[in-house]
Amino acid sequence: MKEKKETLELFEKGFISADQFAAIASYRSQGLFSLRSEIRFLFFIAVSLFVSGAGILVYQNINSVGHVSLLSLLFILCSFCFFYAFKHAPGFSNEKQESKKSLFPYVVLAGNLLAGIFMGYLQYQYAVFGTHYNIATLVPTLLYFFSAYYFDHKGVLAIGITGLCAFIGFSASPSGLLYNDFSETWGLVYYAIALAFVFIVWADFAESGNFKKHFNETYYHFSLHILGVATLSQINDTYWPLAMALLAAAVFYFVRLAYKLKSAYFLVFAYIYGFFGLSSLFVKLFEFVNLMSLIIYLSPFYLMGVIYFLIKIIRHLKKHSQYDSL
């Protein structure tokens, strides 16, 4: 089989040794075509379709004949998922671990999502928690957190985190986060900020206590976006200086974190939030002195400065990190 042109050139220029070249050529000549991630994705799609279908089915047939049998069927399925999960769980550990069964993560996911449907149904039909809707959200959330930690499942953890946010009163899904109306409920934004702060503290604790450290990324991810969106939403509020100060602190923290984790993701998003904060501050400034034309004249230079600054930062990060994280 003909070897790839780039590899050949690397070899010819003497960057890779003959042994390495031979190893690469022999590996490539096997013609392996791995469908691993595709098949896993298919499992994920299958589970999401099934759970969505089950959700609609349950709610559409409320009060109809055969409803109970339908529910019991789904309940059996849910119990089976948990039974399977417990049976094949590698057991709790502080470290990251994987079950030997390829199906394991998908069964855990399906079980949790189905359990969520049931608890929602019980609340809707029998008002188990009365009008304490928060508690009705909290109970499945606790289950998600338990499952996430016991079965070591990042996806379920993220579901649990959105559940926690919903318990406080805002939405943390990517599209939902942007459409939260923080002004509707007084103090909501500060509850959100406090929650994000709790995530950071928890992640730091997990880091030092060596307790499921690989979950930290997920906590940081939610924390950054909640902090960014929540503080920026307060720019026209009475207490905007406080919100901007919090944003500045968050940007500072996440930039340092990005260097620590060598993650371009956190770096770029921290700076983007910082940039929006800074720009809003400038706009705020011009509210006091009305100089619209000045903005138009100055904004290209302002943006050029920002881009120059970002290029410098990226170079700096590249120099101080392994290349593959960036």
Partner 1 sequence: MIAYKKELFEALLLKDEARSLEKAGFINQKQVKFIETKLPSYNRADNVFVLLGFFILAGMLFLSCAGFLGFITALSGTANNRHTFLLSALFGFVALEGVIIRRMKNYANGIDDAFLISSLGNLFAFIGFSLYDAENYNFLFASMFFIGLLACLRYVDRVAAFFAVMGLYALVVSFCMQSGGLLKLFLPFVIMGKTAAYYIILLWLKKKDAKQMYYKGVLNFCAGLFTVIFYLSGNYLVVREANSLLLGNELAPGSDISFSYFFWGFTISCPLIYIYLALKHKKRPLLWIGVISLAFGIFTIRYYHPLLPLDLALLAGGLVLFILAYVSMQKLKGKTKGLSYESDRFHGGEELLNLQALALIEKFGVDSASPAQTLRGAEPGGGEFGGAGSGGGF
Give the residue, chosen from 72, 93, 94, 134, that forms a contact with partner 1 under the rule CB under 8 A.
134
The verdict on 47 binding partner 1 (CB under 8 A) reads yes
Return the residues of window 169-228 that contact partner 1 according to CB under 8 A. Answer: 169-176, 180, 215, 217-218, 221-222
Return the residues of window 282-301 that contact partner 1 according to CB under 8 A. Answer: 293, 296-297, 299-300
Size of the site for partner 1 (CB under 8 A): 114
The verdict on 54 binding partner 1 (CB under 8 A) reads yes
Q: Is-contact 221 237, C-beta < 8 A?
A: no
Question: Rounded CA gap, 203 and 260, in Å?
Answer: 14
What are the CB-based long-range contacts (under 8 Å, 24+) for 95-99?
Answer: 95/212, 96/152, 96/212, 96/213, 96/214, 97/152, 98/152, 99/151
Structure-block tokens of residue 205: 């604790």
Return the residues of window 136-155 that contact partner 1 according to CB under 8 A. Answer: 136-137, 140-141, 144, 154-155
The verdict on 259 binding partner 1 (CB under 8 A) reads no
CB of 221 to partner 1, least distance (A): 5
Nearer Cβ to partner 1 (70/242): 70
CA 210 to each of CA 90, 205, 284: distance values in angstroms, whole numbers, following the listed order: 18, 8, 44
Question: Rounded CA gap, 133 and 15, in Å?
Answer: 64
Give the residue, chosen from 81, 108, 114, 243, that forms a contact with partner 1 under the rule CB under 8 A.
114
Give the residue, chosen from 104, 167, 199, 253, that forms a contact with partner 1 under the rule CB under 8 A.
167
CB of 240 to partner 1, least distance (A): 22
Give the residue, chosen from 111, 160, 228, 274, that forms a contact with partner 1 under the rule CB under 8 A.
160
First-to-final CA distance of the chain: 33
169's torsion region: left (phi>0), alpha (psi -120 to 50) or beta? left
Window of 17-25, 87-95, 191-199, 204-212 that interacts with partner 1 by CB under 8 A = 17-25
